[in-house]
Structure 1
């Protein structure tokens, strides 16, 4: 059975634009997924990247165009300049980690609800009530927002270290159990083809 380690950031617009396509691909191939939220700004610092707001204007302009195009391709509602970005993405990441440990809901739906809160719903994922709403929407106990904070913090930090050691440098980033790496939601078709044995 194939396995995918999914490194992502709760504040990443590209994680949002991935929607739940990873989960659909995994289901198609009988693959399992481990969700590994991390601090994307820290990952950039460790792997030679630059935070979006510190990039050259030409790079920022291109990013804006590309996000608009990618959103149009997915059909997902998208706000290029959301009210609550940047914000503290750690509380939502901790809740995702707690939900994965607890089980009982849909993790793909949870990740999408969190990222949609930023990029289409104009909600602040640093607020506990917003995180609880996302947990409930995905079939998890909303109280998980207040549980496992130590585990969440430790795992969040460990995910960053693992990402760096395994060659991830952006989000979303998908690594198979055969160490095949795919960066970006626009590489999900390639992941699908790889798991099909055609790439």
Structure 2
């Protein structure tokens, strides 16, 4: 059985646009997914990337064209300038980490946080929003308070593991058994083909 480490940032529009395609691919191939939310801005800093606020205007202008293009192509709602972006990724990431420990529809929860930012104008750093999303995806809302120390530890460890695995952006998918790396929601078809052999 293949195992996919999915490095993600809960405020990444590109993670949002991945939708549920990873989960469908994993189900088709009997693969397991480990969700590894991390501080995406620190990942950029550590691996030679540039934070969005510091990018050249031409890059940001292209991003402003490309995101709606992909959203239209995928049939997904997208607010290019969400009311709550950027926000602190740690609280939502801790909730995902706690949910993964508890077991359940973690993929749905991840997509719920991303949709909240990019399509629903919700602040995913707000405790009420985090609790609402946990409950909506079948988790105990109290997970928002449980394991904060462990969540913080794993959140930091995910960043270190991402750097070690060769990740430098998000979404970033690494197949543990082969070391094959796939960067971006537009590489999911290649991940699918790789798992098919």
TM bucket, shorter chain: over 0.9
Separation in 2 of the partners of 1:3 and 1:182?
13
Is residue 10 from structure 1 mapped to residue 10 from structure 2 by the alignment? yes
Separation in 2 of the partners of 1:143 and 1:173?
29
What is the CA-CA distance between 1:149 and the residue it aligns to?
0.3
Separation in 2 of the partners of 1:3 and 1:152?
22
SS in 1 for 2:156: helix
Output the aligned Cα RMSD: 0.6
Is residue 51 from structure 1 mapped to residue 85 from structure 2 by the alignment? no
Separation in 2 of the partners of 1:116 and 1:130?
12
Q: Which runs of 4+ in 1 moved over 4 A?
A: none
Is residue 129 from structure 1 mapped to residue 128 from structure 2 by the alignment? yes
- 1:45-93 CA-to-partner distances (Å, cap 9, x unmatched) read 0000001121000000011111111111111110000000011111000
* Structure 1 residue aligned with 2:179: 179
TM norm structure 1: 0.97
- 1:26-54 CA-to-partner distances (Å, cap 9, x unmatched) read 00000001110000000000000001121
Unaligned runs of 5+ in 1: none
Residues paired across the two proteins, number: 196
* Structure 2 residue aligned with 1:73: 73
SS in 2 for 1:175: strand
* Structure 2 residue aligned with 1:196: 196
What is the CA-CA distance between 1:138 and the residue it aligns to?
1.1
* Structure 2 residue aligned with 1:64: 64
